[in-house]
Amino acid sequence: MSFPHGSDLETTTRLSRHQGEAEARTLEGWRARGGYEALRRSLDMSPAEITEVVKASGLRGRGGAGFPTGLKWSFMPKDDGKPHYLCCNADESEPGAFKDREVIRWTPHLLIEGCLIASRAIGAEHAYIYVRGEFFEETQVLNAAVVEAYENGLAGEGILGSSWSCDVTIHAGAGAYIAGEETGLMNSLMGNRAEPWAKPPFPAQAGAFGMPTTVNNVETLAAVPMILENGADWYRQWGSEESPGTKLWSCSGHLVRPGNYEFALGLPLSDIIFDACGGTPSGKPVKAVIPGGSSTAFLTGDELDCATTYEGLAEAGSALGTASPIVMDEDTDIVAAMRRIAQFYAHESCGQCVQCREGTSWVVRILQRIEAGDGRPADIDTLYELCEQMTGRTICVLADSVVFPLESSLDKFRADYEARMKPTLVAAG
């Protein structure tokens, strides 16, 4: 376990400032740290006012897509007489990402508070926290906190003595990456296969149980209390215009100090990798980094100067995603790494869309063959072609998710692939 981290880089631990403090897990300890003050404040605000503050803060969804949170909340219908739901996406399963787990297991009350404030903003009567099933210990911690919240008037009927009520329920997943896709998550919550559905209907129209629903990531919701408490401008002191605030970074792979960090958005990626995480244990140069979790595009070791903002990483040809750089040193076998990534997506494809169901496993089979030294030059063209056909054709973006790393690895590490090709006979003459 690697909390709290030493770092040669200045961290901005706001959201994560109480991670590593065992007492912060209890209600008493959490209150001693100013917990639930933001919730109290939100009770004096109208849902629209809460949404406005979050909108003004520029907070963007931390689950990977980066959609503006306040805007998402504003899509929820007002006074429609229907039950509304909040789903907290704690199905953290993107390879490389492990930030939400830390939020849950160290600061469960922070998450609950964030859920309650968001529920108030969108008029939800029930907040479901969908935690991936493997996070058993985290669920235990969170559950203890929910029990405490209920017992102390922070959840359920008449929250903090007000007339407002909201239930909080932990819903454990059962092993499906695709349950982290918002419509897949809602299907899973309803007791269905976690198959994403084609939008429309959008969640804000007809989501969980057919009712207006908002799905927010753990880190997004955990950022809400501090924004409400300190204001939008305070939050905007960090980051850029388009990417304000601080961000948790899950750093893994070939690093001296892998782990979670919180930084103001906008630092150069290289600083995070070398200064904060200490570079590679082998001391060898970085060959490749997948900056935003396994479904973002590869960067080479020469492309790490980019700013760690949504726009900065997009400019660099990749994406911020879940802010989970996976670092690979010079000795890394890119073909094997890519094969392993593709294998994951093939395993997690729900199987609805043909391109994804058949495409992901086809990609795996080709990569396995190349890895085994039985590749043919035409395979590279085929892989490129598959990338094209698997992009933007399916209900959700799982198929696209394998394309980003695959296509970029072909672009940037083509030599690695070619080196594995079976020697072919060259016609004389």
Asked if 123 is part of the footprint of another protein (rule: CB under 8 A), the reply reads no
**Contact indicator for 364, 342 with CB cutoff of 8 Å:** yes
H/E stretch holding 411? helix 398-412
**Contacting range for another protein; rule: CB under 8 A; set: 14-22, 107-115, 230-238, 365-373:** 365-373
**Contacting range for another protein; rule: CB under 8 A; set: 32-40, 45-53, 227-235, 332-340:** 332-340
Closest CA to 289 of 248, 256, 318: 318
**Contacting range for another protein; rule: CB under 8 A; set: 66-74, 133-141, 224-232, 411-419:** 133-141
- Residue (53 or 342) nearer to another protein, CB: 342
C-alpha 59/C-alpha 244 separation (Å) is 7
80: tokens are 């429609």
258: tokens are 């892998």
Asked if 422 is part of the footprint of another protein (rule: CB under 8 A), the reply reads no
Asked if 254 is part of the footprint of another protein (rule: CB under 8 A), the reply reads yes
Asked if 322 is part of the footprint of another protein (rule: CB under 8 A), the reply reads no
Cα Rg for the chain, rounded, in angstroms?
Answer: 22
Asked if 372 is part of the footprint of another protein (rule: CB under 8 A), the reply reads no
**Contacting range for another protein; rule: CB under 8 A; set: 110-118, 267-275, 299-307, 329-337:** 329-337
- Residue (44 or 424) nearer to another protein, CB: 424
Asked if 409 is part of the footprint of another protein (rule: CB under 8 A), the reply reads no
* Residue where the block lists tokens 């929820």: 76
Asked if 272 is part of the footprint of another protein (rule: CB under 8 A), the reply reads no
Sketch the per residue contact string, 234 through 253, with another protein: x for CB under 8 A, - otherwise: ----------------xxxx
Near another protein in 33-62, by CB under 8 A: none
**Contacting range for another protein; rule: CB under 8 A; set: 57-65, 109-117, 325-333, 412-420:** 325-333
Q: How many residues make contact with another protein (CB under 8 A)?
A: 97
207: tokens are 């989501």
* Alpha-carbon torsion (277, 283, 286, 289), positive or negative: negative
Asked if 370 is part of the footprint of another protein (rule: CB under 8 A), the reply reads no
Asked if 275 is part of the footprint of another protein (rule: CB under 8 A), the reply reads no
**Contact indicator for 155, 166 with CB cutoff of 8 Å:** yes
Across-strand partners of 169?
128
Q: Smallest distance, Å, CB 124 to another protein? A: 13
Closest CA to 98 of 334, 314, 258: 258
Query: Parallel, antiparallel, or unpaired: how do β-strands 286-290 and 246-253 relate?
Result: unpaired
Asked if 193 is part of the footprint of another protein (rule: CB under 8 A), the reply reads yes
3-class DSSP assignment, residue 29: helix
| Interface residue with another protein, options 19, 74, 216, 355 (CB under 8 A) | 355
Asked if 94 is part of the footprint of another protein (rule: CB under 8 A), the reply reads yes
Closest CA to 104 of 145, 63, 74: 145
Near another protein in 379-398, by CB under 8 A: 382, 389, 392-395
- Residue (74 or 220) nearer to another protein, CB: 220
Q: Smallest distance, Å, CB 285 to another protein? A: 15
Near another protein in 145-174, by CB under 8 A: 146-148, 150-151, 156, 167, 169-174
CA within 13 Å, CB half, 374: 6
C-alpha 312/C-alpha 247 separation (Å) is 14
Asked if 328 is part of the footprint of another protein (rule: CB under 8 A), the reply reads yes
**Contacting range for another protein; rule: CB under 8 A; set: 48-56, 111-119, 221-229, 320-328:** 320-328
* Residue where the block lists tokens 């660099």: 316
**Per-residue burial over 146-184, b = 16 or more CB atoms within 10 Å of its CB, e = otherwise:** bebbeeeebbeeebeeeeeebbbebbbbeebbbbbbbbb
